[in-house]
Amino acid sequence: MSSSVVHLKEMGLTRWVFTTSDKSQIPEPITKGTGDGLGLQELSDSKWVELQNRVSDCQLCSLHGSRHNTVFGTGNPKAHWMLVGEAPGAEEDRQGQPFVGRAGQLLSAMLFSLNLSRHTVFIGNVLKCRPPDNRDPLGDEVRQCAPFLHEQIRSIQPRIILAMGRFAAQALLQADQSIAQLRGRVHCYPINDTPLVVTYHPAYLLRSPQAKAKTWEDLQRARAHYVGQVCGDQ
């Protein structure tokens, strides 16, 4: 048994391992600007740095007063896969990185099952600062902070967006439906029509492992639309 399969077993994800024939269908992650012939717009590094600086200096909402660090996001700023969660937790706030701890480990395993890694995708959150006591984000906080996320998406130009959890889905789709209503189909991110798939947040999966099967369906849906790039196709 390979070490990677052992790793997935440890995460309780044995059922998510691709078969050999499945793996042959998974495209290798492609990095923009490497001669892939896609004609995608090159990211301006200076604009990205300027955006990082604006986030780290931001005081637009009251969360700036209680944060230790802003959490801008991590991964490849030219990635084709973008994953969006809700907000930093206590450990993320301490480290300035998204999805650390057990939820982060589960997210890494989910990526691994898609032949991806934290280095080949970009992972961010709707809020860049931690809400105290891990409470839900407030509407005004989302309104103030979401423009940073939209700017990140415009710069990255991902081929597929995975919205993890209700807050991410609602913020990205500017919707108020429940996650149950938003799951199960491919949406169009309204700003530039990128295919967007809604799934559960890894922290929820830790509490409700029975939802992993539905999450696996969502990941397969995202993978299919990553390959096909058809926005809104069911």
- Half-sphere exposure of residue 145: CA atoms within 13 angstroms, side-chain side: 33
Number of residues that bind ligand SF4 (CB under 6 A): 14
Instruction: Give CA–CA dist 78/72, Å, rounded.
Output: 15
Is 144 near ligand SF4 (CB under 6 A)?
yes
Name residues whose C-beta falls within 8 Å of residue 110's C-beta, 6 or more positions apart in sequence. 13, 16, 202, 215, 219
Is 126 near ligand SF4 (CB under 6 A)?
no
Closest contact distance (angstroms) between CB of 74 and ligand SF4 is 16
Residue 112 tokens, joined: 């691994």
* Contact flags string 38-77 toward ligand SF4, x per CB under 6 A: -----------------x--xxxx-xx-----x-------
Is 145 near ligand SF4 (CB under 6 A)?
yes
Pick 73 or 195: Cβ nearer ligand SF4: 73
Residue 195 near residue 154, CB atoms below 8 Å? no
Three-state SS at 10? helix
Pick 165 or 195: Cβ nearer ligand SF4: 165
CA dihedral 213, 71, 91, 160 (to 10 degrees): 10
Closest contact distance (angstroms) between CB of 168 and ligand SF4 is 14
Pick 113 or 152: Cβ nearer ligand SF4: 152
Closest contact distance (angstroms) between CB of 24 and ligand SF4 is 42
Q: Which stretch binds ligand SF4 (CB under 6 A): 24-32, 103-111, 139-147, 153-161?
A: 139-147
Map 102-127 to HEC letters: HHHHHHHHHHHHCCCCCCCCEEEECC
Q: Which residues of this protein are in contact with ligand SF4, per CB under 6 A?
A: 55, 58-61, 63-64, 70, 127-129, 141, 144-145
